[in-house]
Structure 1
C-alpha cells in the first residue's frame, strides 16, 4: 500500500484540544481504549503461542514444511486474523469503532518491527525488547483514520466516529478558519488520556502556505547559537557570532516546584491500601482512597508538564520566527541520565525537568514552518570547552565551573554564553578571518571530536530513520517469505 505523500507546498501540523465529554462519552472513550488494549493483548498472545509452538515442533525434529503456519506480523496480516477470530473471542466487538481494534494491532505491529530491526542492528538507539502485554493502567489512547472526523461550525465541538460531537474546553477557530479557507485538511485524530485523567484530541492536519507570520518581529542578528542547560536562569542562552547575548530563557523548574506536594501525596499513598501487598507479596483490590491519591499525583505531574511545555514551545517559536539560522547542540539526553546511581539522582532529576531533547525536536519542525535553517552541531563538538575569544581548549572543565576562564588568553566569560557564541559561529562558515581578540582564525573549526580530529565544518548531525512494517519471520530473521531459518 502506497504511503500518503504530502502535496508540494503543504506541511503536516497537529492541533490539540482538551475535551469536555459527557458521562456517556467518557464511558465510550474508556470502552474504545479498552478495546484497543484487548486487541493488542489478544494478538500478542497469539503471536507468542505460534512462536512457542514452532519452537517446540523443531525440538521434536518436525521438518519445516510441516510446522505450524507462520502468523504474519504486519498490520494487514494481524487485522485479517483478528477479523476471523473477533466474533468468537470478542462478541461485543460491534460496540466500538473498528479503529479501536486497529489502534491496538498497529501498536503491536510497530513493536514487533522495532524488535526485529533492533536485533538485526538496523535500528538506532537502545536495544528494543519484545512487546509486552498492556495492563489496565497503561495509557489510554485511540487513533481514528476513517469515518466522520470534523470540526463543527460552532467551533466548540469535535466530531469523531461512534463518539459523536464532543465539547472542547477551548475554541477550535484557528483550525476552523483554515478548513473554511481550503488551506487545511484533517488526516486523522488521536484521542488520549493524560496522567490527570483529562482527555485530549490531537488532529493531524496538512496545511498550505505555512510561513513566517507578518507580525513576527525579526531580530537584527540573522544567526543565533542556542546553548541549553539545567540552571534556573539559563535553560536557553541565545548568542550571536560576534559575542552578543540576545536572550536568556529561565528554566521553569516545574517538577522541582512540585516536589514538596508530590512528597506528601506519595507518602499518603504508601500508607493506604494499594494494589500490591509488600508483606504477603500478593495483588489486591486497591482502595478508593488510594485511587483518589493516585489521581491527585497524576494532576500534579500533568500541571508540571503543562508549565514546561508552555515555556519550551513559546521559546522555540520565538527563535524560529526571529532568526534565519539557528544552531543547536545534538545532546544524548537519554544517555546523560542512564548511569550514576544515587550520587547523581539530583542531576538526573534536573535533566528530566529541563527536557533538553524536546528543544531540538521542537526547533526541527518549527524551523521548517517559518523558513529558518536549523544547524545541528555534532554531539562531540566541545562548545563549552572552547574559548570564544582565541579558540583555545580547556579539556578539564567541570560542571561546577560556571565561569569560563581561558588559560591561553585569560578571558573570563559566562560558561553558557561562551558555548552559545561557539555554536553561533558554526552557522556562519565564513566568520571573520581573525577572532575578536585578534589572536587566531576562528572560521572553519567545525564540530570536531575531542579525541579524534574530523573534517572542518562538519556541524550537521544525521540520524538514521527507521522504516516500519518490514516483512520478517517469527524469529526476527529477515527473509522474503517471513519463514524462520
Structure 2
C-alpha cells in the first residue's frame, strides 16, 4: 500500500541561511500580491468597460497557476529585478496559493464547494503572512542523518536526526515528492511530502468493534470497558500563567495599526514569552492526541465515532474554550488515516444519531437529556449507567446492527419504526447518504429517519 506521508524536521540554519529563507518566503509573497493586483485590476477594467457599453472587452487575466506564471516570467524583470537570487519555486509557491484561493472562491460562489462561503483573496502583509516556501523540483534530498539539501538554499543542518526517513529511502520504500520550509513558533521547519510504501498490516484485534464517545469532562470513553482517556486540559492548567504574561504584554508599547507605530523591544520580548506558552500547549495537545489515536488504530479493526458539529459547539461561549482545548476535530482527522495505515476502518455515526439519549439495553429514546445530567436512567428497563459509557455502547451497537444484515434490529437505529418523522432543522442537507464502504474507507451512516 502506497500512501502520501509527511515528515517534519526542525532546522538549525546559519544566519546567512536564515536570510535566504526569509528572502524565499518574501519572494512568494511578492509574486502572490503582484498576481492578485493584476487580477483585481483586470476585473475592474472589464467591469468599467461593461458600464460604458463597450462590447470588445479587455481580455481576461487567466486565473490558473500556469497562466499567472507565464505572465510573471514576462514581467519579473520590472517587478522584481532581484528575482535571480531566489529559486523559481518561491514564485511558483505564491502563484499556486493565489490560484487555489481564486478557485475556492469561485467554487464557493457557484455552489460547488461545501462549507462556509469563501471570501475573495486578500493581499498578504509582510509582518502577518505565514513565511513559507514549497519546492517541487530541483535538488531535494537528505544529506546524511543531520542535513537536508534544498534548491538554491543548499545544505542546511537539522535540529533532529532524519534517520527514520533516510532508512526508508535507503530501502527503496519511500520517495520524496516535495519539501516545504516554514517559520513556525520562531523556528524554521522543513516538511517532506513522501510517497511511502507501507506493508499491509492488521490490527491486533481485527474483528473488534469499539465505540468512542468524545467529551469535555472525559476526553474519550470506550464501549469495551477499557479505562477512559482523561482530558488533560492543557490550556486550563496554563491559563494562570497566560493571564500574567498577557498583562505584561498589555503594559508594553505595542504596535498601533492606526498610527503605524512599531512595537517596543520590551513588547516583543514579552509577546515572545507568551507565544512560547501557547506553542507548548499546542505541542502537548498534539502529542497526547497522537498517542491516543495510534493506540486505537493499532488495537481495533473498527472504530466508531460521532459526526460532531464542532463549529457549532465553539459558538457556545460556555463550551468554546473547553471544546477547542479537547481537539475533537483533530482526533477524527488522525483516526481517518491511521485506521487505513493499520488495516482497520473508521465508521462515523450520523450527526443526529441520539447516542446519549438512547438506552443501550432496550433502545428506548429519551426526549431530552441535559448536559448537567451525567447518569443515564432508563424509565423503561431501569438501566442506570454513565451517559458517556451509554453513548459509546450505542455507537458500537450501531455498527453491529448495520453489519448484521436484515431483521428487526436493523430497521431503525433509534429503536423506532419508519414513522419517526422528519429530522431536526437542517434536514438531510447536513447528512451523507448510506453507502457500503470498502475496507479501510471511512463511512458515514445515514440519518436514522432515512433508513428503509
User: In 2, distance between residues paired with 1:361 and 1:204?
Assistant: 18
Which of 180, 190, 195 is matched with 1:206 structurally? 195
- From the two aligned structures, give the one with the greater helix fraction: 2
Give the structure 1 partner of residue 268 of structure 2.
291
Which of 2, 23, 37 is matched with 1:10 structurally? 2
User: In 2, distance between residues paired with 1:179 and 1:447?
Assistant: 51
1:185 touches 1:205 (CA, 8 Å); kept in 2?
A: yes
Distance 1:315 1:397, change over 3 A: same
The answer to whether residue 422 in structure 2 is matched with residue 452 in structure 1 is yes
3-state SS in 1 of match to 2:211: strand
Distance 1:18 1:446, change over 3 A: farther
Which of 28, 33, 39 is matched with 1:36 structurally? 28
Query: How does 1:359-438 map onto structure 2 within 5 Å?
Result: 359-429=331-401
Query: How does 1:106-185 map onto structure 2 within 5 Å?
Result: 106-135=96-125, 136-153=127-144, 155-185=145-175
2:304 touches 2:348 (CA, 8 Å); kept in 1?
A: yes
Alpha-carbon distance, 1:294 to partner: 2.1
Alpha-carbon distance, 1:208 to partner: 1.1
Per-residue CA deviations over 1:12-63 (Å, capped at 9, x if unaligned) read 1111111121111111111111111111111111111111111111111111
3-state SS in 1 of match to 2:243: helix
Which of 69, 84, 88 is matched with 1:79 structurally? 69
Query: How does 1:292-371 map onto structure 2 within 5 Å?
Result: 292-338=269-315, 340=316, 344=317, 346-371=318-343
User: In 1, distance between residues paired with 2:173 and 2:92?
Assistant: 29
Give the structure 1 partner of residue 247 of structure 2.
267
User: In 2, distance between residues paired with 1:283 and 1:57?
Assistant: 37
User: In 2, distance between residues paired with 1:462 and 1:112?
Assistant: 33
3-state SS in 1 of match to 2:270: helix
Misfit runs of 4+, over 4 Å: 430-433, 440-444, 447-451
Alpha-carbon distance, 1:305 to partner: 0.7
User: In 2, distance between residues paired with 1:452 and 1:332?
Assistant: 19
Alpha-carbon distance, 1:219 to partner: 4.4
Per-residue CA deviations over 1:183-219 (Å, capped at 9, x if unaligned) read 110111111122x211211111111134438xx7x24
Distance 1:431 1:406, change over 3 A: farther
3-state SS in 2 of match to 1:49: helix
User: In 2, distance between residues paired with 1:79 and 1:444?
Assistant: 57
Which of 95, 102, 122 is matched with 1:105 structurally? 95
Structure 1 runs not aligned, ≥5 long? 1-8, 434-439, 464-485
3-state SS in 2 of match to 1:37: helix
The answer to whether residue 231 in structure 2 is matched with residue 251 in structure 1 is yes
Give the structure 2 partner of residue 469 of structure 1.
none
Superposition CA RMSD, Å: 2.5
Distance 1:115 1:220, change over 3 A: closer
Per the normalisation by structure 2, the TM-score is 0.89
Query: How does 1:17-96 map onto structure 2 within 5 Å?
Result: 17-63=9-55, 66-96=56-86
The answer to whether residue 227 in structure 2 is matched with residue 227 in structure 1 is no
3-state SS in 1 of match to 2:104: helix
Structure with more contact order per residue of length (Cα contacts < 8 Å, sep ≥ 6): 1
User: In 2, distance between residues paired with 1:431 and 1:188?
Assistant: 41
2:364 touches 2:415 (CA, 8 Å); kept in 1?
A: no
3-state SS in 2 of match to 1:304: helix
Alpha-carbon distance, 1:432 to partner: 8.2
**Alignment length (residue pairs):** 427
2:149 touches 2:156 (CA, 8 Å); kept in 1?
A: yes
Structure 2 runs not aligned, ≥5 long? 436-442, 447-452
